[in-house]
Amino acid sequence: MNLRSIIWQELKSRPSAVIFNSLTILLGVAALVAIRHVTVHSEKEVSKQLSNLGANILVLPKDATLQNYYAADQNGGSLPEEHVAEIYLAGLSGVEQVSPRLNVATQVDEHAITVTGILPQSEVEALASWQATTMFMNTTDTGCCQRTNVVSAQQLASPQALIEHRAIQELDKNAIVVGADIAAKLGCKAADRVELFGEKFTVLGILPTTGTVDDGRVFAHLHEVQRLSESGATCNAIEIVGCCEDAAGSLVPQLQELLPNAKIVTISQVVQTQVGVNQLMAKTSWIVLAVMMVVGGAGLAGAISSNVQERRREIGTLMALGATPRYIQQLFLGKALLLGLAAGAIGCLLGVSAALIVGPAWAGVSVTPLVGTSLLAVLLATFVALVAAWWPARRAAQLDPCICFREV
């Protein structure tokens, strides 16, 4: 028999009280852990998507939102494809790569998929050449391109370039490049024939898994997608790779002037918006934590206080048998410690489980357990429990031991 076993036996004798007393802390920890997991993974996902995006300027329809862009949602409207030519004709300095995109929803073997129309770089370059513009590779004239984003035709040769550089050098009109998830769903591989919009296409290649929306897309030639979806010469977005951040900065007002009916968004704006949302979520999670912990701590303090009141004669008896005030204090602090640890650990497990389910389902991000966050949450719960129990435990230690002789 020792302090630990006395605490443990007392806890075991009142399991419902234990659960009830620590429920608020448990739920607080679960909420915190779940929100933090989703937030952190959301930040990572944004960072990954931005990295994969490659472009540092987006030209979107006036009414489109970033969600429309990421979700390949056409409800945001469309842009005339001729904007691509207009951008070239304007001879804006610093433009290195222009990639128009048109997203169209369709079905293949009862699977809903998004077909993204893209213009191969060989045709873009031909257009540029035809327009006699000299902006491509014109890195020295602008004086800004210390870090060039220009990639060679060789680098754009394979379908994987769509992932790495957001462009492909050549794409026949009867060829498609398939995202990893869609390829798995359709069970197709390179050189297979897949029917889209009632016509057969040859699979040029399967993209590696990226963890982004690209996994669920099929890439085809822009003009074929326009023809088959009867969209006309339109696109949903034009991705522009500027040669450097300074160029991107000066490009925006020029592009806004050039395309007054379009929305020009820079990556920095995207980052700021997404980071702002994530920061808001992070702050919200701390507010939730604070509220839950205050309520949970107050609840536990009340419960321990009642426990001290109920056990006054037991406390007096223990003191009569030789327990010191310090021992009595440890008896209640030890109980709080166990409750805090248990509530923290179970809350953490619940929170992580919730994040694993809710993350992909509601926020569209895959979540993996964060050890540091989880440990911090358990420690925090334990700390709150100890602080909550401090005063009642101290009061118990100061009880008059002669209470053991009274009928209480």
φ, ψ (nearest 5 deg) of residue 347: -60, -40
Per-residue binding letters, 349-388, with other proteins (x by CB under 8 A):
----------------------------------------
Centroid of chain to Cα 104: 25
Closest CA relative to residue 240, chosen from 260, 218, 265: 265
**CA-wise closest residue to 270 among 239, 243, 292, 296:** 239
Least CB distance to other proteins at residue 1 (A): 4
Calpha distance 235→364 (Å, rounded) = 25
In contact, 223 and 36? CB cutoff 8 Å = no
Query: φ and ψ at 311, to 5 degrees?
Result: -105, 25
| Residue 9 vs 309, nearer CB to other proteins | 9
- Nearer of residues 33 and 331 to other proteins, judged by Cβ: 331
Distance between CA atoms of residues 343 and 380, nearest Å: 11
Buried/exposed 308-323: b ≥16 CB within 10 Å, e otherwise? beebbebbbebbeeeb
Euclidean distance between CA atoms 267 and 249, whole angstroms: 10
Q: Does 394 bind other proteins (CB under 8 A)?
A: no
Q: Which helix (H) or strand (E) holds 342?
A: helix 325-358
**# of chain residues touching other proteins (CB under 8 A):** 30
- Binders of other proteins in range 283-342 (CB under 8 A): 313-314, 316-327
Which residue of 216, 299, 369, 401 would you call a contact of other proteins, by CB under 8 A? 401
Compute the CA torsion angle 166, 273, 213, 59 (nearest 10 deg): -40
Q: Least separation, in Å, of the C-beta of 320 and other proteins?
A: 5
Q: In angstroms, what is the minimal distance from the CB of 305 to other proteins?
A: 19
Supply the minimum distance, in Å, between the C-beta of residue 401 and other proteins.
4
Q: Minimum distance between the CB of residue 379 and other proteins, rounded to whole angstroms?
A: 29
| CB 3 to other proteins: min, Å | 8
Contact range with other proteins by CB under 8 A, out of 5-13, 210-218, 222-230, 260-268 = 5-13
- Which CB sits closer to other proteins, 262 or 318? 318
Minimum distance of other proteins from residue 27's CB (angstroms): 27
Q: How many residues does the chain have?
A: 408
Q: Footprint of other proteins on this chain (CB under 8 A)?
A: 1-3, 5-6, 9-10, 12-14, 313-314, 316-327, 400-402, 404-405, 407
